[in-house]
Amino acid sequence: MKLGSAELDLSSPRIMAVLNMTPDSFSDGGEFYGDNGQVDLSLVLERVEAHLKNGADIIDVGGESTRPGASLVGLDEELDRVVPVIEAIVSRFDAVVSVDTSSPVVMTESARVGAAMINDVRALGHEGAIGAAALTGLPVCLMHMAGRPENMQKAPDYGDVLQEVCDFLLERVDSCEQAGIDRSKIILDPGFGFGKTVEHNLSLFRGLNKLFVLGFPLLVGVSRKSMIGSILDKPVEERLIGSVALAMLAAQSGARILRVHDVAATVDALKILNAVEGGYDG
C-alpha cells in the first residue's frame, strides 16, 4: 500500500505505534506534557525515535481521547495538539505518519504537513469527513464503533456482533467508493473495545478470519485495553503480556497492521511467530 512516499508491504503484519497527544487517554495520557501544561516536543521526538528504532512502521498521532466516557475536543485544540507534532516528526524522521482523527479540518491540515494515512474511529462518519479524506488522496482506516465514546460502553447489544460489524464496515466502504476513495486505499478495523463487551470482543477475535476474507487489510488495536484487564484482572500498567498475546493471535488470523503501545515487545513476538511459520533464515 502506498503511504506518502513509502510503499508499505502488507504481506506480513506491520506495527503502528500509538502516539497520544492527549492529557486524558486511558493508558498514556499526559506523557508529553511539561510542568507548564504544554506539550514538550523534545519528549515527543524522543519517543518517536525509540519507536522507529524498535521497529515501528507507522506512527499514529492522535489529539482526541476516545476512551469510554471521553468528551469531544474542540477543533482548535485538536489542531494544536496534532499538526505541529506531525510536522516535526516528518521534518526530522523518514517516518510514515498516520493521523488519528474524525475531523475533516484536522485530516486536511495533517495531510498538508505530511501525514500519509487517516485513521478514523468514526469511519469517516462526521459531516464532510469522507469528502475531506477523498481530497487528501490518502489511505484511510475505517473503524466500527457502536455509539459514541461518551456512551458506547453503557449497554452495547448485538444480535450477531461479527455480522453486524461486517455489514457496517462494508456499508462504509461503499460510501467511500461513491466519494471517490479507491478500494486499494481502504483498511478496516473491527473496533475492539468500542461499544463492545468482553464477550463481544472475544467473538470478534474468533471471527477475525471471516473479516479478513472481505478483501481489505485489517488493522487491530487491542493494546492495554479493558478486555485484557477484565480477563487477567490487571491494571493498565500490567497488561503487556496480554496485549502481545492478542496481537499475535490477531496476526495469525490475518491482521496486517497491529496498533500497539509496546513496540519492542510486539516486534520481538512477531519475529518468533514469523520464524515458527517459516520465515527464519538463520
Residues that are catalytic = 225, 259
What CA–CA distance (Å, rounded) separates 128 from 133?
9
Indicate the SS3 state at residue 123.
coil
Residue 52, C-alpha cell as written in the block = 522507529
Cβ atoms of 13 and 270 within 8 Å: the answer is yes
The three cell numbers of residue 7 are 510503499
With helix as H, strand as E and coil as C, how does 188-249 read?
A: EECCCCCCCCHHHHHHHHHCHHHHHCCCCCEEECCCCCHHHHHHHCCCHHHCHHHHHHHHHH
Who's near 119: CB < 8 A, 6+ residues apart?
Answer: 16, 60, 62, 98, 99, 100, 101, 140, 141, 143, 189, 219
Cell of 160: 450477531
Q: Which of 167, 169, 206 is nearest to 189 (CA)?
A: 169
End-to-end CA distance of the chain: 28
**Integer Cα distance of 253 and 160 in angstroms:** 19
